[in-house]
Amino acid sequence: MKNIVCFGEVLWDVFPTHKKIGGAPLNVALRLQSFGNQVSIITRIGDDTKGIEIANFVKEHGVDTENIQVDDALETGAVDVILDNNGSASYTINLNRAWDNIQLTEVAIEKTKQADAFIFGSLAARDTTSRSTLYSLLKVAKYKILDINLRAPHYTTEVLNYVMNTADFIKFNDDEIFEIATSLGFKSTSIEDNILFIAKQTHTKSICVTIGSRGAIYYHNNTFYHNKGYKVKVVDTVGAGDSFLGSLITKLLKDTPPQDAIDYACAVGALVASHEGANPKLKDTDIKELMNS
Protein backbone atom coordinates (compact mmCIF):
# COMPACT_ATOMS: atom_id res chain seq x y z
CA MET A 1 0.00 0.00 0.00
CA LYS A 2 1.34 3.42 -1.00
CA ASN A 3 0.59 6.70 0.75
CA ILE A 4 -0.43 9.27 -1.87
CA VAL A 5 -1.62 12.88 -1.59
CA CYS A 6 -3.65 14.60 -4.31
CA PHE A 7 -3.90 18.39 -4.41
CA GLY A 8 -6.36 20.67 -6.18
CA GLU A 9 -9.91 21.20 -7.30
CA VAL A 10 -13.02 19.31 -6.26
CA LEU A 11 -16.23 20.34 -7.96
CA TRP A 12 -19.46 19.37 -9.64
CA ASP A 13 -19.46 18.45 -13.32
CA VAL A 14 -22.76 19.92 -14.49
CA PHE A 15 -24.12 18.28 -17.65
CA PRO A 16 -27.26 19.49 -19.48
CA THR A 17 -29.35 16.73 -17.89
CA HIS A 18 -27.54 15.84 -14.66
CA LYS A 19 -24.54 16.55 -12.44
CA LYS A 20 -21.72 14.44 -11.02
CA ILE A 21 -18.96 14.99 -8.46
CA GLY A 22 -15.55 15.43 -10.07
CA GLY A 23 -12.41 17.49 -10.47
CA ALA A 24 -9.26 15.88 -11.84
CA PRO A 25 -7.40 15.53 -8.50
CA LEU A 26 -10.45 13.91 -6.91
CA ASN A 27 -10.97 11.59 -9.88
CA VAL A 28 -7.34 10.50 -9.63
CA ALA A 29 -7.65 10.07 -5.85
CA LEU A 30 -10.75 7.89 -6.17
CA ARG A 31 -9.12 5.63 -8.76
CA LEU A 32 -5.97 5.34 -6.63
CA GLN A 33 -8.11 4.44 -3.61
CA SER A 34 -10.00 1.79 -5.60
CA PHE A 35 -6.66 0.03 -6.17
CA GLY A 36 -5.89 -0.17 -2.45
CA ASN A 37 -3.69 2.87 -1.96
CA GLN A 38 -3.91 5.08 1.11
CA VAL A 39 -5.04 8.40 -0.36
CA SER A 40 -5.55 11.91 0.99
CA ILE A 41 -6.80 15.00 -0.81
CA ILE A 42 -5.90 18.61 -0.05
CA THR A 43 -8.67 20.88 -1.31
CA ARG A 44 -11.35 23.37 -0.29
CA ILE A 45 -15.14 23.35 -0.54
CA GLY A 46 -17.78 25.96 0.16
CA ASP A 47 -19.90 26.02 3.30
CA ASP A 48 -22.89 24.90 1.26
CA THR A 49 -24.97 21.86 0.37
CA LYS A 50 -22.85 21.01 -2.68
CA GLY A 51 -19.71 21.07 -0.56
CA ILE A 52 -21.20 18.85 2.12
CA GLU A 53 -22.24 16.35 -0.54
CA ILE A 54 -18.70 16.24 -1.90
CA ALA A 55 -17.16 15.77 1.57
CA ASN A 56 -19.56 12.92 2.34
CA PHE A 57 -18.91 11.33 -1.05
CA VAL A 58 -15.14 11.45 -0.56
CA LYS A 59 -15.40 9.96 2.93
CA GLU A 60 -17.72 7.17 1.73
CA HIS A 61 -15.13 6.19 -0.88
CA GLY A 62 -12.36 5.83 1.69
CA VAL A 63 -10.27 8.89 0.79
CA ASP A 64 -8.91 10.82 3.79
CA THR A 65 -10.91 14.03 4.29
CA GLU A 66 -8.73 15.64 6.99
CA ASN A 67 -7.42 18.22 4.52
CA ILE A 68 -10.74 19.18 2.95
CA GLN A 69 -11.02 22.79 4.06
CA VAL A 70 -14.31 24.70 4.28
CA ASP A 71 -14.63 28.26 2.99
CA ASP A 72 -17.32 30.49 4.51
CA ALA A 73 -17.24 33.01 1.65
CA LEU A 74 -16.66 31.17 -1.64
CA GLU A 75 -18.97 28.58 -3.19
CA THR A 76 -18.06 24.99 -3.98
CA GLY A 77 -16.60 24.56 -7.46
CA ALA A 78 -18.69 23.78 -10.54
CA VAL A 79 -17.96 23.16 -14.21
CA ASP A 80 -20.45 23.20 -17.09
CA VAL A 81 -19.78 20.17 -19.33
CA ILE A 82 -20.95 19.73 -22.92
CA LEU A 83 -20.43 16.44 -24.79
CA ASP A 84 -20.18 16.30 -28.58
CA ASN A 85 -21.50 13.44 -30.71
CA ASN A 86 -18.31 11.44 -30.07
CA GLY A 87 -18.56 11.78 -26.29
CA SER A 88 -15.68 14.27 -26.10
CA ALA A 89 -16.15 16.93 -23.45
CA SER A 90 -15.74 20.71 -23.43
CA TYR A 91 -15.74 22.66 -20.17
CA THR A 92 -16.70 26.06 -18.80
CA ILE A 93 -15.02 26.43 -15.40
CA ASN A 94 -16.58 28.88 -12.96
CA LEU A 95 -14.28 31.45 -11.36
CA ASN A 96 -13.72 32.46 -7.73
CA ARG A 97 -14.62 29.15 -6.15
CA ALA A 98 -13.52 27.61 -2.86
CA TRP A 99 -10.76 25.51 -4.44
CA ASP A 100 -9.06 28.74 -5.55
CA ASN A 101 -8.51 29.53 -1.86
CA ILE A 102 -6.71 26.44 -0.50
CA GLN A 103 -4.76 27.51 2.58
CA LEU A 104 -1.34 26.28 3.66
CA THR A 105 -1.69 24.41 6.97
CA GLU A 106 0.69 22.42 9.15
CA VAL A 107 -1.50 19.36 8.69
CA ALA A 108 -1.21 19.63 4.91
CA ILE A 109 2.56 20.11 5.12
CA GLU A 110 3.02 17.03 7.31
CA LYS A 111 0.73 14.92 5.15
CA THR A 112 2.69 15.92 2.04
CA LYS A 113 6.05 15.20 3.69
CA GLN A 114 4.93 11.67 4.61
CA ALA A 115 3.51 10.77 1.19
CA ASP A 116 5.21 8.43 -1.26
CA ALA A 117 3.84 10.61 -4.06
CA PHE A 118 2.24 14.06 -4.38
CA ILE A 119 -0.09 14.45 -7.38
CA PHE A 120 -1.22 17.88 -8.53
CA GLY A 121 -2.71 19.51 -11.62
CA SER A 122 -1.87 22.75 -13.37
CA LEU A 123 -5.46 24.00 -13.09
CA ALA A 124 -5.20 24.37 -9.31
CA ALA A 125 -2.49 26.99 -9.85
CA ARG A 126 -4.81 29.41 -11.68
CA ASP A 127 -5.29 31.75 -8.70
CA THR A 128 -2.89 33.30 -6.20
CA THR A 129 -3.77 31.60 -2.91
CA SER A 130 -3.98 27.99 -4.06
CA ARG A 131 -0.92 28.51 -6.25
CA SER A 132 1.10 29.81 -3.30
CA THR A 133 -0.01 26.85 -1.17
CA LEU A 134 0.90 24.44 -3.97
CA TYR A 135 4.36 25.92 -4.42
CA SER A 136 5.03 25.59 -0.68
CA LEU A 137 3.94 21.94 -0.64
CA LEU A 138 6.07 21.14 -3.69
CA LYS A 139 9.13 22.16 -1.67
CA VAL A 140 8.52 19.36 0.86
CA ALA A 141 7.06 16.62 -1.38
CA LYS A 142 9.25 13.54 -2.05
CA TYR A 143 7.98 12.62 -5.51
CA LYS A 144 6.00 15.17 -7.51
CA ILE A 145 3.57 14.12 -10.26
CA LEU A 146 2.14 16.87 -12.49
CA ASP A 147 -1.07 16.41 -14.43
CA ILE A 148 -1.17 19.09 -17.13
CA ASN A 149 -4.74 20.29 -17.60
CA LEU A 150 -4.96 23.17 -20.09
CA ARG A 151 -8.30 24.92 -19.80
CA ALA A 152 -8.15 28.37 -21.37
CA PRO A 153 -7.92 31.01 -19.97
CA HIS A 154 -6.88 29.37 -16.69
CA TYR A 155 -3.12 29.06 -17.23
CA THR A 156 -0.01 31.04 -18.11
CA THR A 157 3.29 30.02 -19.67
CA GLU A 158 5.13 31.25 -16.57
CA VAL A 159 3.16 29.00 -14.20
CA LEU A 160 3.39 26.01 -16.54
CA ASN A 161 7.15 26.39 -16.82
CA TYR A 162 7.52 26.55 -13.05
CA VAL A 163 5.45 23.46 -12.26
CA MET A 164 6.99 21.44 -15.10
CA ASN A 165 10.50 22.23 -13.88
CA THR A 166 9.51 21.23 -10.36
CA ALA A 167 7.88 17.90 -11.25
CA ASP A 168 9.50 14.45 -11.30
CA PHE A 169 6.79 13.04 -13.59
CA ILE A 170 4.60 14.92 -16.10
CA LYS A 171 1.43 13.69 -17.78
CA PHE A 172 0.02 15.43 -20.89
CA ASN A 173 -2.49 14.65 -23.58
CA ASP A 174 -1.25 15.04 -27.15
CA ASP A 175 -2.85 18.46 -27.72
CA GLU A 176 -1.31 19.78 -24.51
CA ILE A 177 2.26 18.72 -25.20
CA PHE A 178 2.12 20.15 -28.74
CA GLU A 179 0.74 23.47 -27.46
CA ILE A 180 3.32 23.82 -24.69
CA ALA A 181 6.29 22.75 -26.82
CA THR A 182 5.23 25.18 -29.55
CA SER A 183 4.98 28.00 -27.00
CA LEU A 184 8.59 27.22 -26.04
CA GLY A 185 9.74 27.51 -29.66
CA PHE A 186 9.79 23.83 -30.65
CA LYS A 187 7.91 22.60 -33.72
CA SER A 188 7.55 18.95 -34.64
CA THR A 189 4.61 16.70 -35.47
CA SER A 190 6.26 13.77 -33.65
CA ILE A 191 5.03 13.14 -30.13
CA GLU A 192 8.29 11.39 -29.30
CA ASP A 193 10.28 14.44 -30.42
CA ASN A 194 8.08 16.70 -28.31
CA ILE A 195 8.56 14.45 -25.30
CA LEU A 196 12.33 14.54 -25.72
CA PHE A 197 12.23 18.32 -26.00
CA ILE A 198 10.15 18.75 -22.83
CA ALA A 199 12.31 16.22 -20.99
CA LYS A 200 15.43 18.19 -21.85
CA GLN A 201 13.86 21.57 -21.08
CA THR A 202 12.51 20.49 -17.69
CA HIS A 203 15.11 17.84 -16.72
CA THR A 204 12.25 15.35 -16.28
CA LYS A 205 13.00 11.63 -16.59
CA SER A 206 9.37 10.46 -16.71
CA ILE A 207 6.79 11.84 -19.16
CA CYS A 208 3.53 10.28 -20.30
CA VAL A 209 1.29 11.44 -23.15
CA THR A 210 -2.21 10.08 -23.73
CA ILE A 211 -3.47 10.02 -27.32
CA GLY A 212 -7.19 9.39 -26.90
CA SER A 213 -8.38 6.21 -28.61
CA ARG A 214 -4.85 5.65 -29.94
CA GLY A 215 -3.46 4.81 -26.51
CA ALA A 216 -0.47 6.44 -24.86
CA ILE A 217 3.30 6.86 -24.88
CA TYR A 218 5.41 6.64 -21.73
CA TYR A 219 9.01 7.88 -21.63
CA HIS A 220 11.17 6.85 -18.69
CA ASN A 221 14.95 6.88 -18.29
CA ASN A 222 15.60 7.38 -22.02
CA THR A 223 13.25 4.60 -23.13
CA PHE A 224 9.85 4.84 -24.87
CA TYR A 225 6.93 2.51 -24.12
CA HIS A 226 3.83 2.46 -26.35
CA ASN A 227 0.25 1.26 -26.16
CA LYS A 228 -1.99 1.60 -29.23
CA GLY A 229 -5.26 1.73 -27.28
CA TYR A 230 -8.22 -0.60 -26.76
CA LYS A 231 -11.44 -0.49 -28.76
CA VAL A 232 -14.53 0.41 -26.74
CA LYS A 233 -17.80 2.19 -27.42
CA VAL A 234 -17.25 5.66 -25.97
CA VAL A 235 -20.02 7.08 -23.80
CA ASP A 236 -18.11 10.07 -22.49
CA THR A 237 -14.45 10.89 -21.98
CA VAL A 238 -14.85 12.78 -18.68
CA GLY A 239 -12.32 11.43 -16.18
CA ALA A 240 -10.80 8.82 -18.50
CA GLY A 241 -7.40 10.51 -18.37
CA ASP A 242 -7.63 10.82 -14.59
CA SER A 243 -8.29 7.11 -14.16
CA PHE A 244 -5.47 6.40 -16.60
CA LEU A 245 -3.09 8.42 -14.42
CA GLY A 246 -4.28 6.84 -11.17
CA SER A 247 -3.84 3.38 -12.65
CA LEU A 248 -0.42 4.13 -14.13
CA ILE A 249 0.93 5.61 -10.90
CA THR A 250 -0.43 2.68 -8.88
CA LYS A 251 1.47 0.23 -11.07
CA LEU A 252 4.68 2.26 -11.31
CA LEU A 253 4.89 2.78 -7.54
CA LYS A 254 4.68 -1.00 -7.18
CA ASP A 255 7.66 -1.37 -9.57
CA THR A 256 5.53 -2.93 -12.30
CA PRO A 257 7.48 -3.05 -15.60
CA PRO A 258 6.70 0.16 -17.53
CA GLN A 259 5.17 -1.63 -20.54
CA ASP A 260 2.81 -3.63 -18.32
CA ALA A 261 1.92 -0.46 -16.40
CA ILE A 262 0.98 1.57 -19.47
CA ASP A 263 -0.99 -1.35 -20.94
CA TYR A 264 -3.00 -1.63 -17.74
CA ALA A 265 -3.57 2.13 -17.48
CA CYS A 266 -4.80 2.35 -21.08
CA ALA A 267 -7.29 -0.44 -20.44
CA VAL A 268 -8.63 1.33 -17.36
CA GLY A 269 -8.91 4.66 -19.21
CA ALA A 270 -10.77 2.99 -22.07
CA LEU A 271 -13.22 1.29 -19.72
CA VAL A 272 -13.96 4.59 -17.97
CA ALA A 273 -14.67 6.20 -21.35
CA SER A 274 -17.15 3.41 -22.07
CA HIS A 275 -19.21 4.39 -18.99
CA GLU A 276 -21.07 7.53 -18.00
CA GLY A 277 -19.25 9.82 -15.58
CA ALA A 278 -15.69 10.07 -14.34
CA ASN A 279 -15.66 7.43 -11.62
CA PRO A 280 -17.44 4.22 -12.61
CA LYS A 281 -16.69 1.10 -10.62
CA LEU A 282 -14.51 -1.29 -12.61
CA LYS A 283 -13.98 -5.01 -12.15
CA ASP A 284 -10.49 -6.39 -12.38
CA THR A 285 -11.84 -9.17 -14.58
CA ASP A 286 -13.15 -6.59 -17.07
CA ILE A 287 -9.78 -4.83 -17.14
CA LYS A 288 -7.92 -8.08 -17.79
CA GLU A 289 -10.46 -9.17 -20.42
CA LEU A 290 -10.01 -5.91 -22.33
CA MET A 291 -6.21 -6.21 -22.14
CA ASN A 292 -6.42 -9.71 -23.58
CA SER A 293 -8.88 -8.80 -26.33
In CATH, what number is assigned to the domain containing residue 272? 3.40.1190.20
Predicted confidence (pLDDT) at residue 156 exceeds the cutoff of 90: yes
**What pLDDT was estimated at residue 221?**
94
Give yes or no for a contact between 121 and 138, defined as CB atoms under 8 angstroms apart.
Answer: no
In the chain, the DSSP E strands lie at 3-7, 11-14, 19-22, 38-46, 68-71, 77-83, 89-93, 117-121, 144-147, 169-173, 206-210, 216-220, 223-227
User: What digits encode the pLDDT tens for the residues 7-29?
Assistant: 999 999 888 888 989 999 999 99
Among the ranges given (26-30, 129-133, 221-225, 281-285), the one the predictor scored with the smallest mean pLDDT: 281-285
User: What digits encode the pLDDT tens for the residues 67-113?
Assistant: 999 999 999 999 988 888 777 777 889 899 999 999 999 999 999 99
**What pLDDT was estimated at residue 287?**
95
**What pLDDT was estimated at residue 238?**
83
- Domain of residue 209 covers 3-291
274: β partners: none
**What's the predicted TM-score (pTM) here?**
0.95
62 burial class (0-12, 13-18, 19+ CB within 10 angstroms)? middle
Predicted confidence (pLDDT) at residue 264 exceeds the cutoff of 80: yes
**What pLDDT was estimated at residue 119?**
98
Of all residues in the chain, the percent with pLDDT exceeding 90 is: 87
Select from 253, 270, 24, 249 the least CA-distant residue to 125: 24
Select from 81, 87, 91, 101 the least CA-distant residue to 8: 101
CA 68 to chain centre: 17
Q: What is the mean pLDDT of residues 252-258?
A: 97
**What pLDDT was estimated at residue 17?**
87
Reported confidence tier of residue 279, pLDDT bands at 50, 70, 90 = confident
Select from 154, 148, 155, 189 the least CA-distant residue to 170: 148
Q: How many domains does the chain have?
A: 1
